Amino acid sequence: MVRSVDQSFEDYRQASVAIKTKDGHTFEHYQRSAIGSPETPASRAMIEDKFLDNVSGVLSEKRAQAVIDTVANLEDLPQVSELMRLLRKD
């Protein structure tokens, strides 16, 4: 596999990829602004899914969902220690 980085990109908000298959087809895509950037904000569902993917194997599904629910209601949390307790490894 050949990997290269196009140094013309000034920041991490934009990217392009080109994939050439063994049968000679080339698939290309250019993303002007990364998902999650101010120009292309990520949806809440995307953020939650990414969080769940990242903590799988570290937190149980139940605990991970509790973290999501707690963060969604952070302004009602009397002490941040409750969130910190949920973030500890199962």
pLDDT in tens, 18-47: 999 999 999 999 888 878 888 889 999 999
SS3 26: strand
Is residue 29 domain-shared with residue 50, that is, in the same domain?
no
Amino acid at 4: S
Is residue 59 domain-shared with residue 70, that is, in the same domain?
yes
Is residue 49 domain-shared with residue 25, that is, in the same domain?
no
Measured at the alpha carbon of residue 55, what is the angle toward residues 50 and 59, in degrees to the nearest 5?
A: 140
pLDDT of amino acid 8: 64
pTM: 0.65
pLDDT-above-90 percentage for the chain = 66
pLDDT of amino acid 3: 61
Is residue 77 domain-shared with residue 59, that is, in the same domain?
yes
> Which range of residues forms the domain containing residue 33?
11-41
Say how far apart CA 16 and CA 8 lie, in whole Å.
11
Q: Which two tokens stand for residue 84?
A: 């910190």
* Number of compact structural domains in the chain: 2
CA distances from 80 to 25, 56, 75, 76, 88 (A): 53, 23, 10, 10, 13
57-78 confidence digits (pLDDT tens): 999 999 999 999 999 999 999 9
Is residue 27 domain-shared with residue 48, that is, in the same domain?
no
SS3 80: coil
Say how far apart CA 84 and CA 88 lie, in whole Å.
7
Is residue 56 domain-shared with residue 78, that is, in the same domain?
yes
